A and B are shown apart, each in its own frame.
Chain A
Amino acid sequence: MPSVSVRLFASLREKVGERQVDVEVPEGADVRALYRALAERYPQVRPYLETAVCAVDEEYVTAAHILRDGDRVALIPPVSGGC
């Protein structure tokens, strides 16, 4: 069972209270399955997961992206940098 390390930022980081969480997902799980696992463990982040995009190895991916052991995963809420 792959364990995926997920980095959290902004609203998600505050709601979970951690900068990074380790989540176990079934072999061959996609990003959608990761979201389900996170929503189950942290019900308070459900509304924030709906608008967050997933990044793997610093690249945006779709919800159908298959996760692999050792992927650098991050959840990206709608961005608001600049000014």
Chain B
Amino acid sequence: MFEITDQPLDPAPLVEAVHRDDAGAIALFYGIVRNENLGRRVQYLEYDAYPEMAMKKMREVADEVRAKFPVLEIGIVHRVGRLEIGETSLLVAVSSGHRGESFEACHYAVDRIKQIVPVWKKEVWEDGSEWIEGHTPEVPAR
């Protein structure tokens, strides 16, 4: 299950999507909106995305995860639009036969999502706002 949506995220369908009878573990990661960053009080976040490419890159992250870890299923959903403090922006779920792989794979997936998936957040403070420049995606050498 891979999705970019402007609706509130529900973990239940995602967990269901990665669940299998041969799974002994499911790791579920929530990315949530924090009320401060670098000492500034955040009022809310606004997420923008290039949806078609973000979907493609989320699938690419999943392919990388499968190549590196013996996982069973992986699902990623990202929310866009305005998100209030405490709301969930990202859900990643990974199932595996044993717990170790799902923890590691989930951690890796979140790191890669933040590096290559074209999604952006704008922090809005009481006295201004700024699009956060995170990671410059690597460009394949030709």
A26 to B77, CA, bound (A): 40
Q: Is the CB of A81 within 8 A of B50?
A: no
Q: Is the CB of B140 within 8 A of A60?
A: yes
Tally of B interface residues using CB under 8 Å: 38
Q: Is the CB of A83 within 8 A of B89?
A: yes
Q: Is chain A's interface secondary structure helix, strand, loop, or mixed overall? A: mixed
- Residues of B whose CB lies within 8 Å of any CB of A are 31-34, 47-50, 52-54, 56, 78, 89-90, 110, 113-122, 131-142
- Given A9-B120, A10-B122, A11-B131, decide whether A81 and B138 contact each other with a Cβ distance below 8 A: no
- Measured between beta carbons, the chain B residues less than 8 angstroms from A49 are none
Q: Is the CB of B134 within 8 A of A79?
A: yes
Q: Is the CB of A60 within 8 A of B50?
A: no
